[in-house]
Structure 1
C-alpha cells in the first residue's frame, strides 16, 4: 500500500511499513505484513477483517501495547519506537484511552473511583466540569458509588468509556467494545462513541467483527492476511457485510 500522502489533516495515529512477526524460524507467524495506514483526528474509524487477519494486532501495535518487528508507529507526531519503556507507559497513560470487551474495571473500586483512576495514577486533578459532562451524557450519576458487581454489563462498559475519556486522550482504542453486550445496550455504547467524536472532537479507532457496529463509524479499514486491503467511507451494515463476504469472512 502507498505511503500516507502529505495532507493538512492531522493524524491521531498512523503506521508506515508496519511488520509484526511472532516467533521465529519455520514456525514464525507474520501477523502484519507491511501495513501503512493513518487514522485522522476527530474521526470514528473501525477496523474489520476475517478471524486471524491481524486487525487486533494492528490496534495493539498502534496503541503501544505490543512491540513492532519493523516499521514505524506514531501517536500524533511521536514515534513510539523512539520512546523508553517509561516514556511509552506515560504516553499510554496520558495520551491514549482504552476500552475493552471485558470492561477491565477494578472490582474493589466504585464507578467514580474507576473513572478517575487514570488521573490518580498520573497525579493529576480531575477537570470537574468534564467529569460531570461524561457522567451526565453516559447516564451514570446514580451509579457513581456502585462497584462493578452491582452494575449491569452496559453500565460497566459506560464506566469504562468514561474512564477512557476522562483524561481527554488524543485517541481512544476500542477492542470489540460491544462484544459482551446485548444489541440494545451495544447500540447505546456505539451511539455514545459516535457522539464523542461529533460533539467532543474525540478520535476513536475500534476493532469489531460486527457489520452493524462498524456502520456507526465514518470509515472502515479492511484488513486481511496482515495487510490493509481496502476501506469503506460512510459504511452501512450492508456495504460492510458485502466487503467481508468478498474477503471470505
Structure 2
C-alpha cells in the first residue's frame, strides 16, 4: 500500500480525489471552516477535498480536535463552511437557502446519533415513519416491511422505546434513517451508548445496509473496532486529511491513530 506525503511514516493509504463529484454520494472541494477570529480563531477543517462513493461505508477518525465531527456536520449540511463547495447526491448544497437545505436533509439524508433520539410516547413503527409523517409524505409500506425484517424489528413495531433494549432502539433509529432511501446516512458515534456485543450487532446491520440495500454511510467514530466494519477509514489531524485505510483491522487502525497522536 502507498503512503500519502503528509502522513506519518508507516501509515498506509493515499487520499484519492476525483476531478468531479458526479455519481458520488457526497463530495467536498477545498472546504475550510473556522470558529472565532484573529489570533483566537480555531481552524477546524482546512482545505478538505474528498469523495464518498455510493454504496460504501466510510469511517472518519482522528485525535480529539482533529476536525472529524466538524467535517461531518458540514458534509451533512448541518453547519456552513467558510470556503469551498459541498455536494450531496450531485446537488451543490453550498449556499442553499435554509428552507431548501432543510428539505434536502429531510428527504435525502439520514442520521443515526449516539443518542437514539426516539419519541418515548410513539411506537417503534411510528418513530420509524415520523420524518415521512412530518413531511406530509406517504410511507412505502413494502419498503418499511423489508427494512423491519432485515433489521429484526418485525415483532417489535408496536413496542414503545422503554419496552426495547438499547440495541433494538438503535435499530429503530437505523430503520428511520433508511426509510426515505437517502443518498447518504451520517452516523455520529452510533454505538457510543451500546455495549460491545450490541454495538457489533448494529455495525453489522449498517454494513449489511450497504451490501444489501445499496446504502451509503459516513460515520464518525473514535473506536478502531467500530471503524473496522467500514470499507474505508479516512484519517484526520489538525483539520486536515492525512491518509486513509481500506478494509483494515482494528490493530492496523489503532496503529495509524497512535502515529497521529490519538
TM-score normalised by length of structure 2: 0.91
Contact in 1 for aligned 2:21/2:27 (Cα 8 Å): no
Out of 134, 141, 156, the residue aligned to residue 121 of structure 1 is 134
Out of 140, 143, 149, the residue aligned to residue 130 of structure 1 is 143
Which consecutive unaligned segments of at least 5 residues does structure 1 have?
Answer: none
Paired position in structure 2 for 1:176 = 189
Paired position in structure 1 for 2:172 = 159
Aligned length: 249
Out of 69, 80, 95, the residue aligned to residue 82 of structure 2 is 69
Higher helix share: 1
Counterpart mapping for 1:178-197 below 5 A:
178-197=191-210
- Deviating above 6 A after TM superposition, structure 1's stretches of 4 or more consecutive aligned residues are none
Contact in 1 for aligned 2:21/2:87 (Cα 8 Å): no
SS at match of 2:77: coil
Contact in 2 for aligned 1:107/1:147 (Cα 8 Å): yes
Paired position in structure 2 for 1:87 = 100
CA distance in 1, matches of 2:128, 2:20: 36
Contact in 2 for aligned 1:13/1:73 (Cα 8 Å): yes
Q: Deviations over 1:129-154 (max 9, x none)?
A: 11001111111122212222222111
RMSD: 1.6
Shift of the alpha carbon at 1:59? 0.4
Q: Deviations over 1:40-64 (max 9, x none)?
A: 0110111010111000110000000
Residues 1:14 and 1:233: Cα distance change in structure 2 (over 3 Å) = same
SS at match of 1:11: coil
Which consecutive unaligned segments of at least 5 residues does structure 2 have?
Answer: 1-5, 7-14
The alignment status of 1:235 with 2:235, answered yes or no, reads no
The alignment status of 1:100 with 2:101, answered yes or no, reads no
